[in-house]
Amino acid sequence: AQSVTQLGSHVSVSEGALVLLRCNYSSSVPPYLFWYVQYPNQGLQLLLKYTSAATLVKGINGFEAEFKKSETSFHLTKPSAHMSDAAEYFCAVSDTGNNRLAFGKGNQVVVIP
């Protein structure tokens, strides 16, 4: 089964600094990959997804992620953090053949003014 690793449950970033959240996946086949964001007391919202059309994927709110097959990675970045980016972020990979997603444990992002 596919799986995802997100290191560092809590990530602190200064306002205006680069946001970098790491995601590594294991998959026996070319994967479909997703990043979701969860604001406090809300459900998950799709930020972006990789479906093999382009290795650099742009999403909502200025986020982007780069698929690197050689590193089995799909790291999420944003050049300049805003206070509104404080949320929990989840990376996910499609599980082959059963329409399930395998989620990482999430990164709680804190933005420091």
Partner 1 sequence: DVKVTQSSRYLVKRTGEKVFLECVQDMDHENMFWYRQDPGLGLRLIYFSYDVKMKEKGDIPEGYSVSREKKERFSLILESASTNQTSMYLCASSLTGEVYEQYFGPGTRLTVT
Enumerate binding residues for partner 1 (CB under 8 A): 9, 32, 34, 36, 41-46, 49, 51, 90, 94-101, 103-106
The one-letter code for the residue type at 11 is V
- Chain length of the chain: 113
- Give the nearer residue to partner 1 in terms of CB position, either 45 or 61: 45
- Contact (CB, 8 A) for 57 and 67: yes
Taking the complex as a whole, the smallest distance from the CB of residue 104 to partner 1 amounts, in Å, to 6
- Give the nearer residue to partner 1 in terms of CB position, either 40 or 113: 40
Could you tell me which residues are beta bridge partners of residue 76? 21, 65
- Contact (CB, 8 A) for 63 and 78: yes
Taking the complex as a whole, the smallest distance from the CB of residue 45 to partner 1 amounts, in Å, to 7
As given in the structure block, the two tokens for residue 68 are: 């690197």
- Residue carrying the six token digits 């698929």: 67
- Give the nearer residue to partner 1 in terms of CB position, either 74 or 90: 90
Taking the complex as a whole, the smallest distance from the CB of residue 107 to partner 1 amounts, in Å, to 10
